[in-house]
A = this chain, B = another copy of it.
């Protein structure tokens, strides 16, 4: 009999059967027990190891389940034939991946230490103010929903999102954004990126997309990752030039008519009609309207959506609660025109919803019961105050810089009137003074003959009110 001298430990850390199973498995994997070899009978091994027979039975059963040995009726247990086990060390293969991120972190912390400061005053266009978020309301709604009576919320919901939430979103979009749609047309998803992935399935694999330059770069990367051809369309002060669309073979144009990122342009109704006319001329032409920060406008009433001006056939409307509530609320929504809705129901019905029903329900009650509107009013007030402070503080800059894009959203542009600095210099000089601003050209997705004057993006959502004058004073030192 093959040496079955297994050292069994009875310290309780491992079942006896597991130890026997583990030992034999390693012997097989190590090539010490060869394929075809007969194992001792369970009775013999149990006697030899002084354990109960059922313990050995369990070990053999597990080895059979995993396919290391097989039972031949009335003959006993035999080692199976195995392909050789590959070798390798995952740790070493990951070394360069890990180092990369470690280095990145080290760089940042060094840079901070060099300045002897905790952090930059960051005029990030993605900054948000969470100071008035009604945590207690959110907590209360969550608590009420998570009661024993709501077990059905732990089941999987509808792929498009729960009907109640879609109804609430539809109502909100109608009153706040002039969007005309039925709840049936809304697809709820975990973030815009995911919704664009669904859209990819609807537009097909060879779609061409028209984009402005500069534009929202994440969307550009996503379209490129779909393998889509992206055609750059010229812009003027009204936004995307509709007449250039006719020169391109594109299926859709991606626009942000309420507040183009990063230029801040609000597209006038005339240009909107031109775009709608282009889209309406062929069956499969669409405008993808990304209404990313439409909630915040400082001059007059909100500008109604492009979707609301359409006949309902050609605009794919996408919006998100990431800006209006919080980035962590991974809920975006897409309004599909009927033709695409039918395709979605036929070809995408099997994609499960990416938003948990609990989160959908919380959000639904948050909006339905008026908390969202109240919160929006509060944040609008705060952002307007920051906006006004920033504009006030920027007055001394206006001789040297031109201000634009300041009527809406959470960022504005400062463009040099001359070329006394490059964009890179503007950003670097700011950084040396402890302030982060963002180069306009970072949002460019293609080279163009004339990049215009050096321009930087200043976001003011994330800074505290009292930080703004401090930051601007530092920019004065850097630039004036």
Interface residues of A (CB under 8 A from B): 18, 21, 58, 61-62, 65-68, 80-91, 93-94, 96-98, 100-101, 128, 130, 133, 135, 138-139, 142-143, 146-148, 151, 153-157, 180-182, 184-185, 189-194, 197, 201, 205, 218, 221-222, 225, 227, 238, 266-274, 276-277, 280, 299-301, 303-304, 309-313, 322, 326-330, 338, 341-342, 345, 347-348, 350-359, 407
Q: List residues of chain B with CB within 8 A of the CB of A83.
A: 270, 273-274, 276-277
- Separation of A148 and B133 alpha carbons in the complex (Å): 9
Q: Are B58 and A300 interface neighbours, CB within 8 A?
A: yes
Select A272's contact among B67, B310, B329, beta carbons within 8 Å. Answer: B67
Select A184's contact among B89, B101, B146, B300, beta carbons within 8 Å. Answer: B101
Q: Could you say how many copies of this chain the assembly holds? A: 2
* Minimum Cβ distance to chain B for residue A372 (Å): 15
- Separation of A238 and B86 alpha carbons in the complex (Å): 21
- Separation of A218 and B349 alpha carbons in the complex (Å): 10
Q: Are B133 and A154 interface neighbours, CB within 8 A?
A: yes
Q: Are B133 and A151 interface neighbours, CB within 8 A?
A: yes
Q: Are B354 and A90 interface neighbours, CB within 8 A?
A: no
Cross-chain pairs A/B with CB under 8 angstroms, 22 sampled: A65-B266, A65-B300, A80-B270, A82-B273, A83-B277, A86-B277, A86-B310, A91-B182, A93-B338, A94-B185, A97-B342, A100-B345, A133-B151, A142-B146, A154-B328, A156-B322, A156-B328, A190-B354, A193-B352, A194-B354, A197-B197, A330-B356
Q: Are B312 and A330 interface neighbours, CB within 8 A?
A: no
Q: List residues of chain B with CB within 8 A of the CB of A87.
A: 311
Q: Are A80 and B328 interface neighbours, CB within 8 A?
A: no
Given contacts A156-B322, A328-B358, 16 further A-B contacts (CB under 8 A): A62-B301, A65-B300, A65-B303, A67-B238, A80-B268, A81-B270, A82-B273, A84-B273, A86-B313, A88-B312, A135-B146, A135-B147, A154-B329, A330-B352, A330-B356, A354-B354
